Structure 1
Amino acid sequence: MTQQWQSDLDAWAGGWAAIREDETPQGVRAWNGSLPQDTVASVELVLVCEPSDAGTVRDAVVAAGSDVLSTDVLLCGAVQDLDRGLGFPGDAGLFDAPMGDWSRFEVDDWGQPVAHSAMSVQEGVAFVGALHADSSQDRDPAEVLDPLVSAMANEAFLADAERLYTVVPESELPAREAQGWQRVAAVVRCLRR
């Protein structure tokens, strides 16, 4: 049975590449039980699989003589679940700037940037980049990051997206789940040798 992330793979992978401002790696592919043979050496490959298959994928990459660069988590959230209508603290406000295929979102408090992220909407789904909060602030980062995600989900809704995706390290999972995201897959980045 095909999972929703598999059906949306081309769109969210395209959004991910747009935010990273690079070409999509040799391929962002759903794991089908074997490494693709059509890739060339020294090119990054991204294999996406069920969370329970991540170990198997890493083992297959190493057995093929390639390097595992990272294993991250693919998260998904429905726009209506992530757009919780949260407000920013104090006098903080949101600004966005279109950058071609993606937009930068920044939270400013008294003219000082305190958080930012990026989002790309493609083919009815949105991809949200890394969330960054100013660590010098005397506040819980969630005070600005949670409203930022909520505001970006609202923007995705206005762009007719139904779902948002993001790729994060395992360490960020608890904070993201608190925002309404759900783990849907593992993302194994590798380098063919």
Structure 2
Amino acid sequence: MTSQRKVALALTGIFLALFIVIIIGVLEQGRYDYAKNIAIKAAIWVIYTFLEMKYDVQLSNYIRVLVMAVLLSDSFAGLYLNLYATSAIFDKIQHVFGSYAFALFVYTLICTLTRPVINRAFSLFFIISLGLSIGAIYEIGEFIGDATMRPAIPSQPSLLDTNLDLLADLGGALLAAIHIAIVLTYNRTPPVR
């Protein structure tokens, strides 16, 4: 087993331990729907990690930590500490950070799996498109959650909130594009490590 795989498995173990602690805390608060949400995120990440190891896909540990940090901040700060309801800016910061992390994650995963030969301009356009698409899909998920579960505090209280979330997603996607531009400048190859 390579050292990168050992680090990936150790990070996933730490991630799961933190998620279990957060789930216990949320259950103690009586927020069973939040606990279910967190457990689903943890399960998806475990499945992804299993598939990554099985099919020998190598994701950089920097991007792995970014994605885990987004998921943990959503669960701990957003749900356990209830910052989605009590903070005016936490959701926007989470959108910028999440769009940045997930755009890098999906872009790197696509480059790793397909080994495309793409030019720099297309890479930048593609990663911005990924960030915006991921943000739009997340907004649709919030809409469906609000429509079907009718929470006391909706995820999307207004159209202004949705539009600001999408602008924050654009900011995160632009940060990811800048990140990729810097990596491409120094490596001259698609960033797969």
- The TM-score, its normalising length taken from structure 2, stands at 0.24
- The TM-score, its normalising length taken from structure 1, stands at 0.24
The answer to which structure has the higher strand fraction is 1
With CA pairs under 8 Å and 6+ residues apart, which has the higher RCO, 1 or 2? Answer: 1
The answer to which structure has the higher helix fraction is 2
